[in-house]
């Protein structure tokens, strides 16, 4: 998603006493706070100010940075943190966008990150990018899905994307739907209901079946826009 010009200041929005979203010109980061430490998902564009300073104003706990994926609008100012954690399948893409010498740490599907009384589970959901992940907070019954689930079109063009892997990932999220009541997306309306995953899978199937009509996207990209029942793709 293109950054707005001029960039608006970062805005921290409280979800509850231990969770915040940080809005950055159309993309959002998420901060999960436990009794012992905190977890930040993504760092936005990086052009509107220091996400580290915003996080420090919200918690004094040690913060781990984890990337839902490595699109440029999710990794701005990642270097403000000691290292960026991500699934290894995302590392090649990350290093094409990152600065030389970036420090990374691997996380794996099914890993549990214990924040102290709050456990965050890594869920690998490739398709939007090879190593896209979601963060499942079973205790609070929410899942943060990055760009993979959205109330608007999901970017699904260029060499990093696979609609076939995406469909398998949506089936995986549907199989986990008993564990969450809300989806926290990185773009657009917030939060989303679990049924948005079902809509995304249905839209993908119709796209591959040639049942959706191409539309012009709202900004210049080498793709068309396809929508069905509130879900869709730039493809």
The CATH number for 104's domain is 3.60.15.10
Residue at 85 is within a domain: yes
The whole-angstrom separation of Cα 61 and Cα 36 is 6
- For residue 79, CA distances in Å to 2, 14, 103, 196 come to 21, 25, 8, 33
Mean of the pLDDT values across residues 88-111?
Answer: 95
Residue at 3 is within a domain: no
Residue at 25 is within a domain: yes
Residue at 136 is within a domain: yes
Residue at 4 is within a domain: no
How is the chain split among helix, strand and coil, in percent rounded to 5? 25, 30, 50
Predicted confidence at residue 3, as pLDDT, reads 45
Predicted confidence at residue 13, as pLDDT, reads 98
Task: Determine how many CB atoms are found less than 10 A away from the CB of residue 179.
Answer: 17
Residue at 163 is within a domain: yes
Total domains in the chain come to 1
Predicted confidence at residue 6, as pLDDT, reads 57
The whole-angstrom separation of Cα 108 and Cα 124 is 8
Could you tell me which residues are beta bridge partners of residue 123?
134
Mean of the pLDDT values across residues 155-170?
Answer: 96
Angle between helical axes of 195-208 and 163-175 (0-180°, round to 10): 150
Mean of the pLDDT values across residues 187-198?
Answer: 98
Residue at 6 is within a domain: no
What is the domain extent for residue 82?
Answer: 11-234
């Amino acid at each position: 998603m293109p950054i707005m010009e001029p960039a608006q200041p970062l805005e921290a929005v409280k979800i509850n006493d231990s969770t915040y979203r940080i809005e950055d010109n159309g993309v959002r980061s998420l901060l999960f706070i436990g009794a012992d430490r905190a977890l930040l998902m993504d760092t936005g564009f990086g052009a509107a100010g220091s996400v580290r300073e915003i996080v420090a104003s919200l918690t004094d706990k040690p913060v781990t940075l984890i990337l839902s994926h490595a699109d440029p609008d999710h990794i701005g100012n990642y270097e403000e943190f000691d290292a960026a954690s991500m699934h290894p399948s995302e590392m090649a893409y990350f290093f094409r966008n990152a600065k030389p010498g970036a420090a990374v740490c691997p996380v794996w599907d099914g890993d549990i990150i214990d924040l102290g009384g709050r456990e965050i589970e890594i869920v690998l959901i490739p398709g939007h990018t090879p190593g896209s992940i979601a963060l499942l907070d079973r205790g609070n019954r929410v899942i943060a899905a990055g760009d993979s689930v959205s109330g608007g079109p999901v970017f699904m063009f260029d060499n990093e994307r696979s609609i076939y892997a995406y469909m398998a990932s949506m089936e995986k999220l549907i199989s986990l739907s008993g564990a969450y009541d809300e989806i926290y997306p990185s773009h657009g309306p917030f939060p989303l209901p679990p049924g948005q995953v079902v809509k995304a899978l249905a839209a993908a199937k119709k796209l591959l079946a040639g049942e959706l009509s191409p539309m012009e996207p709202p900004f210049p990209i080498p793709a068309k826009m396809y929508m069905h029942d509130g879900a869709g793709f730039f493809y």
